[in-house]
Structure 1
Amino acid sequence: MNEFMYLFRGSDASGSPAEMQQHMQRWTAWAKELTEKGHLKRPGSPLDPTGKVVQGKQKAVVDGPFAEAKDVVGGYMLIEAEDLAHAVELSKGCPILERGGSVEVRPIWKLSH
């Protein structure tokens, strides 16, 4: 099995309290299914929309991240899959897709020590 990072992009926090509860239940069910099938290695966490960006040779620190809401990484998850195609297929169950968000699927390089 290979490791992949899911980066969740787009707004996932809108709707009535009842709609938000239903949406969170879909997230929980999806994570449970990935766990039961042996794919969820680390559940990750939602990310706070605030933060800082350190950039350039001068190591300038600025408020950030500055991106359009649809491009902000809102959370992540570490999974195991056979290959990239399999990881992509597993990502299609993500509830953020129902709200117009996206899942970036990135292979994790195995570094030799």
Structure 2
Amino acid sequence: MKDFIFLFRADYKDLGQASPEQMQARTQKWMDWVGSIAAQNKLSSRGNRLNPAGKVVKKGNVVTDGPFTEIKESLLGYIVVKAETIDEAVKLSEGCPILASDDTSVEVREFDVI
């Protein structure tokens, strides 16, 4: 099996404020989806959510606020799954709660073995 990373992308501004009940419901959907992958023994890492604040370091040690403030879409978090092929990994991404909103995505990438 190979490892694939799911990168979750959305606009932080479009996520809006949620009540505690809404947050609990969202969290439960994520737990159920990740749990379904784990139940198939295909979860390598639960990953993490990412804080929207950050820095971008470029050549010459140029540091700017980031990440990538010039683009609308932000990287919100990730998980790592096991699959035989990228098509199988894509199939595992189906049902991801982030896909319930417009202008969101799951980027599926294979790790290169070095």
- Same fold judged by TM-score > 0.5? yes
C-alpha displacement of 1:59? 1.6
Task: Spell out the pairing of 1:29-40 with structure 2 (5 A cutoff).
Answer: 29-40=32-43
Q: Does the alignment pair 1:102 with 2:95?
A: no
Query: What pairs with 1:37-56 in structure 2 (closer than 5 Å)?
Result: 37-56=40-59
Match of 1:3 in 2: 3
Asked if residue 73 in structure 1 is aligned to residue 64 in structure 2, the reply is no
Structure 2: state its 5+ residue gaps.
none
Q: 1:11 touches 1:99 (CA, 8 Å); kept in 2?
A: no
Q: Distance in 1 between matches of 2:53 and 2:11?
A: 14
Aligned length: 109
Root-mean-square deviation over aligned CA pairs: 1.4
Deviations 1:78-103 (A, max 9, x none): 11011000000110121000022210
SS of the aligned residue for 2:21 comes to helix
Identify if the C-alpha distance between structure 1 residues 52 and 95 changes in structure 2 by more than 3 Å, giving closer, same or farther. same
Q: Distance in 1 between matches of 2:27 and 2:83?
A: 24
Which residue of structure 1 lines up, in the alignment, with residue 94 of structure 2?
92
| Whole-Å separation in 2 of the counterparts to 1:79 and 1:23 | 21
Is the CA contact 1:3–1:107 (under 8 Å) kept in the aligned structure 2?
yes
> In 2, distance between residues paired with 1:67 and 1:79?
30
Q: Can you give the 5+ residue segments of structure 1 that lack an aligned partner in the other structure?
A: none
SS in 1 for 2:47: coil
2:30 aligned with 1:27? yes
- What's the CA shift string for 1:5-25, capped at 9, x where partnerless? 000000474333322221110
Q: Report the identity percentage.
A: 39
TM-score using structure 2 length? 0.88
What TM-score comes out, normalization by structure 1 length?
Answer: 0.89
